[in-house]
Amino acid sequence: MRFYLIDRITEVAPAKYVEGLKLISMSDDVFDEHFPGYPVFPGSLILEGLAQMSGLFFEYCLKQEGVTGKRAVLTLVNRMKYRRLVIPGDCLHYRADVKAFYPDAYATVTVKATCEGKRYAEGELFFSFLNDIMDEEMQKTTDRLMTLAFRNARVISEK
């Protein structure tokens, strides 16, 4: 992956939900051209951040269930809506709530991005789990990213 659009995972409840943060900074490369003099963070990158967080979350869940070698791949975006412009200085709070999780096949989540309690984006994402597409190097990269992203996350376990 060339760039990561999630800064950290803050809370995770395996197979239930995940929360994370994306800090929008004027130093983000996208603002060089989107738009000069009026910087706006593109909705497509908000979607990408929500998808990255959700996909990593599902791979984390699979690992917790002892399933290895599967990759979460975004297959469908449904009812994605953008409600406000995101500008430098905003801190987006991402959340994904599991609607369905079938480790052998697919999963769905409802996602939202908020800032200071206001909803900026929301929608529904579908993921398929593919076997045998990760070589050893890709698995190592994914494991490193998972370790970094989840290192300070609050883990909510079932009671």
CA distance linking residue 47 with residue 120, whole number of Å: 11
Q: What domain range includes position 116?
A: 8-151
- Is residue 77 situated within a structural domain? yes
Of 16, 34, 63, 93, which residue is the catalytic one?
34
Give how many domains the chain has, as a whole number.
Answer: 1
- Is residue 25 situated within a structural domain? yes
- Is residue 21 situated within a structural domain? yes
The residue among 48, 51, 54 whose CA lies nearest residue 16 is 54
CATH number of 41's domain? 3.10.129.10
- Is residue 127 situated within a structural domain? yes
- Put simply, whether the predicted model's pTM sits higher than 0.85 gets the answer yes
CA distance linking residue 72 with residue 142, whole number of Å: 11
- Is residue 157 situated within a structural domain? no
- Is residue 1 situated within a structural domain? no
- Is residue 71 situated within a structural domain? yes
Q: Is 34 a catalytic residue?
A: yes
Strand pairing category for 91-102 and 106-115: antiparallel
- pLDDT, tens digit, 9 for 90 and up, residues 14-52: 999 999 999 999 998 888 888 888 999 999 999 999 999
- pLDDT, tens digit, 9 for 90 and up, residues 84-127: 999 999 999 999 999 999 999 999 999 999 999 999 999 999 99
- Is residue 2 situated within a structural domain? no
